[in-house]
Amino acid sequence: MKQVILITGTPCVGKTTVAQRLAEKLDALYINLTEFAEKHHLIAGEDEKRKTRVIAEEKMRAKIAEAINTAEKATVIIDGHYAYAVVPKRYVTRIFVLRRNPVELRRLMEQRGFAGDKLWENLAAEILDVCLVETLQTHENGKVCELDVTGKTVEEVANQILAVLDNRAKCVVGSVDWLSLLEKQNLIDEYLRI
């Protein structure tokens, strides 16, 4: 049976670089959901307000299942903030939800051109645990691991994931609380604008 690992989280937490590095270390098939959707014509439309593409989820699920079933590699790494929603549950071995301190995340988002509603919506999603909560609503807790990647290199995060996969470290959920952190630093109003 194949090992299918999902790497998810809000934009700019490091999903792609971590997933690519992990795929190298595990000699795994790497799938970036954005590229996969474009390559296989799985885009259903555009969300003008958010300036993002809307994915044809059912078609995506079928095409992802096909990619997993036909993969020659024993491990498949899938990267995308909505991976939990489009990869059929029966295939998923582990899901790593990457988390980043909102202060560091805001700086990275602004460097990548995020501004206005898109910036504040994504920061709010990180602060309010949206990716983690949605993942836990879809998959059982034992498969979902939350990792604080704040200040860590890609190599450190990839090694942390390997430690969990090799049972050298525990898979934990609920270890990150950005809301309390921002409250203590008196930054709630500055960061939660939506």
Cβ neighbours of 66 (radius 10 Å): 11
**Residues 102, 178 contacting (CB under 8 angstroms):** yes
Q: Work out whether strand 75-79 and strand 29-32 pair parallel, antiparallel, or are unpaired.
A: parallel
CATH 3.20.20.10 applies to domain 3-191: no
User: What do you get for the CA distance between the two ends of the chain, in Å?
Assistant: 43
- Three-class SS state of 48: coil
* Summary mean pLDDT of the chain: 92
Domain residue limits, the chain: 3-191
Q: What does the alpha-carbon distance between residue 191 and residue 178 come to, in Å, rounded to a whole number?
A: 11
Query: In sequence order, which residues have a C-beta less than 8 Å from that of residue 170 and are 6 or more positions away?
Result: 164
What's this model's pTM, rounded to 2 decimal places?
Answer: 0.93
Cβ neighbours of 153 (radius 10 Å): 13
| pLDDT > 90: percent of the chain | 77
Answer with the residue of higher pLDDT: 176 or 44.
176
Per residue in 94-148, pLDDT (tens digit) is: 999 999 999 999 999 999 999 988 899 999 999 999 999 999 999 877 899 999 9
